[in-house]
Structure 1
Amino acid sequence: MGEGTFGKVLECWDRERKDMVAIKIIRGIKKYREAAMIEIQVLEQLGKHDKGGNRCVQIRNWFDYRNHICIVFEKLGPSLYNFLRKNNYRSFPIDLVREIGRQLLECIAFMHDLRMIHTDLKPENILLVSPEYVKVPDYKSTTRSPGSYFKRVPKSSAIKLIDFGSTTFEREDQNYIVSTRHYRAPEVILGLGWSYPCDIWSVGCILVELCTGEALFQTHENLEHLAMMERVLGPLPLHMLKRVDRHAEKYVRRGRLHWPDGATSRDSIKAVMKLPRLQNLIMHHVDHSAGDVIHLLQGLLRFDPSERLTAKEALRHSFFMRDHFRR
């Protein structure tokens, strides 16, 4: 069903329960085994508190086979990333973004209440519960290829969060690098220590991606990434730039980002320059409720983690107060 650095996921038939399951088979390497044991511990904790089992993926069982930890999960639909990819990276309707965002934030609020930080939120780690979809006319299609006049929309907006191998319990001053690049918060890159708000930043990036169909910050290097953030969201606060750790000092000169002087190439500068401001980006893709979405995203994507909305605050935002979309 999928493959990653950790190993692979197979679709299997459970002969006792007479239904399909997904089994995550971990490579027999020490660090992956350790992450798998953390994941099992986290899943069992979450399962104990998530009574209806409708927030995070449910663990059915686990076993150790020839040095491979194997974790048995309920079988779910495709990841949001795979759904977008098969849909030629076309955006989701805003009502669907609202429902997915609501569930995602409910799940994060639930984890944060249990003192857990996911640290690797991205569309690959959010699965639709059902693989079913409908085809609807795509009026915004610019390509002329056959089939491009229709886009897929999931029949149900129900989602579940997966992959708790990087989940950590809250501690003081966590400084190591977390999150997949595109969804990594500025405080992580600048080495300022991170906590719950790093998950919230990732949620902001994911919601933009669902609205537009494409990842917001497509980059592979830190300075370019920070420059992209400034381009989309405005300047980084001085007090954050003043406190960068020694690894990140090279990105700052005289109290501001060392850009474009520090850029590795002309192409890098071009990549940053072609990015629009957040408001323009959203208005280009979202017809109704664009104002609400922009306001919510500005709260989720605040540079200063202490000023970022919490998951519970975000859930009270007017964007989520609209009519409930059918799940």
Structure 2
Amino acid sequence: MLLPQNGRLSLRGVPRYKEHAHAEAELLREILRCDPGRQSFCVKLLGEFTHAVAHCCLVFELLDISLSDFMRDTDDRGLLLRDIRTIGSQMLQCLHFLSAMGLTHTDIKCRNAMLKDSRGDMVPHPRKDGQELKRLRRCEIRVIDFGGAVLKKERHSRHIGTRQYRSPEVVLGLAWDEKTDVWSLGCILLTLYTGQRPFPVQSSLQHLALMQRVIGNLPKDMVKLAAAGGSLPEDVVVDSRGGLQIQRKLSDEAQELLNLAQPLEQRVLPQHGSFLKLLEGLLAAQPEKRLSAAEALKQDFLSSEPVE
């Protein structure tokens, strides 16, 4: 699958893929119908056609590069807080819009957020002495890849999304809703701030261990519910106090990553307290206590110019 950097997405001529492409196109047309003012920051579908009988092609508005590619091209130095604020606001508007439609994207990640224009100017890095980062001239994104989007009535119990962006409820095999997209956005914003993904994991076992290091112990009721339903990852058990216990030794690399992991509050500079508060709301372990997109849009970080 090709990202729509050149305005076109081509899918191999497999019947199943073609059906998925047509379904995604139909969904994108409905999004556009519900958003004539283009305030949702969802990618705009311009059309679709079949090439050489076998290939279903979707034609999108012209975009530049993904946040993932931008980070790679700028040596993972992150973004200015003012640009993080703009991107956060735009993506939350997108999630709020999707929620109103009864949709969960299910795969919010840096690769599925595309910049309209990645040009910028190098300026001194306000958080890393002696380094520079790129200040975007035009900070505007589009959310792409709606192939995995799920309506409320179609939610299922299978794992969704990309591993490193999965919320605690998804990793534990519990019921999920649109709040899982909010968690994924929290991961994106922290990545843009630090330059590093908060959960660079390769297994659910490692993911749960790292989550507890970053955001604290997972709530006992979630852990017990997962245990009762038999959905805990292999080699994870619940102790007598309702806490998670990892029974299998992690690889040396995974253990080193865990040992070096800092709690969330230590990853954000003291002067950026309003940003930390937003992150804590987005990355709350319990979906019931996690901010909704609408609630997050009212946070102080997004309503005032941040101090770099």
**Fold-level similarity (TM above 0.5):** yes
Aligned amino acid, residue 94 of structure 2: C
Choose from 143, 146, 160 the match for 2:142: 160
Alpha-carbon distance between aligned partners in 2 of 1:76 and 1:8, rounded to the nearest angstrom: 10
Alpha-carbon distance between aligned partners in 2 of 1:248 and 1:79, rounded to the nearest angstrom: 33
Cα offset for 1:306? 1.6
Where 1:112 maps in the other structure, the secondary structure is helix
Q: Report the equivalent of 1:82.
A: 69
Q: Report the equivalent of 2:300.
A: 318
Question: Does the CA contact (< 8 Å) of 1:292 and 1:318 recur in 2?
Answer: yes
Question: Does the CA contact (< 8 Å) of 1:224 and 1:263 recur in 2?
Answer: no
Question: Does the CA contact (< 8 Å) of 2:5 and 2:65 recur in 1?
Answer: no
Cα offset for 1:7? 4.7
Choose from 278, 284, 298 the match for 2:280: 298
Alpha-carbon distance between aligned partners in 2 of 1:215 and 1:242, rounded to the nearest angstrom: 28
Alpha-carbon displacement from aligned partner over 1:19-62 (angstroms, at most 9, x marks no partner): xxx11001112332232122101110111111122511111110
Choose from 220, 231, 234 the match for 2:216: 234
- Paired residues in the alignment total 300
Where 1:282 maps in the other structure, the secondary structure is coil
Cα offset for 1:262? 2.2
Cα offset for 1:131? 3.1
Cα offset for 1:74? 0.8
Question: Does the CA contact (< 8 Å) of 2:63 and 2:114 recur in 1?
Answer: yes
Cα pair distance change 1:249/1:210, threshold 3 Å: closer
Alpha-carbon displacement from aligned partner over 1:163-194 (angstroms, at most 9, x marks no partner): 11111111265211111111101111111121
> Which sits farther off after the overlay, 239-248 or 209-218?
239-248
- Alignment TM-score, normalising by the size of structure 2: 0.91
Where 1:63 maps in the other structure, the secondary structure is strand
Cα pair distance change 1:136/1:43, threshold 3 Å: same
> Which sits farther off after the overlay, 71-80 or 29-38?
29-38
Cα pair distance change 1:139/1:236, threshold 3 Å: closer
Choose from 104, 115, 120 the match for 2:91: 104
Alpha-carbon distance between aligned partners in 2 of 1:57 and 1:156, rounded to the nearest angstrom: 17
Q: Report the equivalent of 1:264.
A: 250
Choose from 248, 254, 258 the match for 2:232: 248
Whether 1:25 aligns to 2:10 is: yes
Cα pair distance change 1:266/1:10, threshold 3 Å: closer
Q: Name structure 2 gaps, 5 residues minimum.
A: none
Cα pair distance change 1:84/1:239, threshold 3 Å: same
Cα pair distance change 1:172/1:78, threshold 3 Å: closer
Alpha-carbon distance between aligned partners in 2 of 1:242 and 1:265, rounded to the nearest angstrom: 26
Cα pair distance change 1:319/1:139, threshold 3 Å: closer
What is the alpha-carbon root mean square deviation over aligned residues?
2.0
Alpha-carbon distance between aligned partners in 2 of 1:249 and 1:84, rounded to the nearest angstrom: 31
Aligned counterparts, 1:160-309, within 5 A: 160-171=142-153, 174-244=156-226, 245-248=229-232, 250=234, 251-254=236-239, 255-259=242-246, 261-283=247-269, 288=271, 290-309=272-291
Alpha-carbon distance between aligned partners in 2 of 1:163 and 1:140, rounded to the nearest angstrom: 32
Cα pair distance change 1:59/1:235, threshold 3 Å: same
Aligned counterparts, 1:132-171, within 5 A: 132-138=119-125, 149-171=131-153
Whether 1:128 aligns to 2:115 is: yes
Question: Does the CA contact (< 8 Å) of 1:174 and 1:195 recur in 2?
Answer: no
Aligned amino acid, residue 192 of structure 1: L
- Alignment TM-score, normalising by the size of structure 1: 0.86
Question: Does the CA contact (< 8 Å) of 2:114 and 2:142 recur in 1?
Answer: yes
Q: Report the equivalent of 1:14.
A: none
Question: Does the CA contact (< 8 Å) of 1:7 and 1:27 recur in 2?
Answer: no
Alpha-carbon distance between aligned partners in 1 of 2:46 and 2:237, rounded to the nearest angstrom: 49
Where 2:169 maps in the other structure, the secondary structure is helix
Cα pair distance change 1:125/1:199, threshold 3 Å: same
> Which sits farther off after the overlay, 34-43 or 88-97?
34-43
